[in-house]
Amino acid sequence: MSDAMLAIGTRKGLFLARSADGGPFEIEPIQFSTVAVPSVAIDTRGTTPRLLAGIEYGHFGPSVMYSDDLGKTWGEAEQPPIAFPEKTEATLTRVWQLVPSPSEPDVVWAGVEPGALFRSEDRGVTYRLVEGLWEHPHREHWQPGGGGLCLHTIVNHPTDPEIMGVAISTGGFYRTTDGGLSWEAANQNIRTPFMPEGQQYPEYGQCVHKVGMDPSRPERLYLQHHFGVYRSDDFGGSWRDIGAGLPSDFGFPIAVHPSRPDTVYVLPLHADVDRTPVDHHYRVFRSDDAGQTWQPFSEGLPEGRVHATVLRDAMTASEAGLFFGTRDGEVHWSRDDGETWSLVGRHLPDVLTVRAAVL
């Protein structure tokens, strides 16, 4: 394997780690110390990789930083890179997601709080509001989840820039087929058991935690819901429950293998007040048949009891391996699809997001 980079966004700074020729990841000194970094991206589309970091300056608010020298230096737009138009009467609270488009060379998407989507056409330096989603008639009915009213997932079709999906907590999953001009709710067959009988399958208002796409079969999506694990074979047109065989169908992250069809990973937690790993042991469950069956893997993970949650963006699958970070500052890495694990680092701040790429 070529050299790889791991970006770890935490509540008190950004850590970059590098691996040479498949060897161990070495964590570099902290960047943006004491600043929360809830979103990161490693954009390898151009001849020069670009790092993006959504940061929170505290009193001075959120921003997006970029680096074209793998984190040695960072730049920032002269004006706030993401800002709501005055007519919206909205204020940016957090940048939850930064996603380079796989089919448009200079386009980067940003998901933010309060639930909105922004588009950049200069590789993530400046952004504009996607008004088609902001003006959707459902928006006034969306309510904040435990983490806020956040657009936390962006799913891009790998070859067709007109097709994409987003997930909003607690709006649900929405999709577009015209590049964001119009959007439709796509939550059919997703159950919300706390609702009264006859109202348990609402069109919107769903508490979606994370959505992942099968890159080799882009119409296939996987969804971790507050109350279940689901699969769609028609890009969200309808969903089916695939949580049977898991010790709990509650969790935050869901990750899809970058090149192996039908391979998906979840990390089950106790539901829903006790948000700790099931049986207080980290176990990553993998399905190799699109969710029909599941296998647990934990070799190399802590043997003692653990109590830290893994957040929605704190697990990722890439050609560099499978990674997850915990709220007590540990980051774990598997180079064999989750079957065995090694420790990248511990005693970091609360891990909010991890992203990895082969350079």
At residue 163's C-alpha, the angle toward residues 259 and 174, to 5°, is 100
- Tens digit of pLDDT for each residue in 236-262? 999 999 999 999 999 999 999 999 999
Nearest to 173 by CA among 193, 192, 152: 152
Measure the CA–CA gap between 243 and 233, rounded to whole angstroms.
Answer: 16
Name the stretches of the chain with pLDDT < 70: 1
- Establish whether the linkage from the previous residue to 44 is cis, with ω within 30° of 0: no
3-state secondary structure of 100: strand
* DSSP 3-state of 279: helix
Q: What is the pLDDT of residue 1?
A: 56
Residue with tokens 């952004």: 127
- Report DSSP state, residue 77: -
Span 122-145, pLDDT tens digits = 999 999 999 999 999 999 999 998
Q: Are 147 and 173 a contacting pair, CB within 8 Å?
A: no
In this prediction the pTM is: 0.97
CATH number at residue 134: 2.130.10.10
- Rounded to 5 degrees, what are φ and ψ at 311? -80, 170
Cα–Cα dist 24/45, whole Å? 25
Given this model, what pLDDT does residue 127 score?
Answer: 98
Q: Which amino acid is at 294?
A: W
If one counts the domains in the chain, the total is 1
Q: What is the pLDDT of residue 288?
A: 98
Q: Quick one: DSSP state of residue 203? A: S
Tokens 């609360």: give the residue: 350
CB 209 within 8 A of CB 169: yes
pLDDT at 296: 98
Strands (E), 180-294: 184-185, 208-213, 221-225, 228-232, 240-241, 254-256, 264-266, 284-287
Residue 265, domain extent: 4-358
Q: Provide Rg for the chain, Cα atoms.
A: 19
Structure letter (DSSP) for residue 58: G
CB 84 within 8 A of CB 92: yes
What is the pairing mode between strands 108-113 and 116-120?
Answer: antiparallel
CA angle, residues 141, 147, 150, in degrees to nearest 5: 50
Tell me if 355 sits within 8 A of 43, measured CB to CB: no
Token pair of 255 as six digits: 């990750």
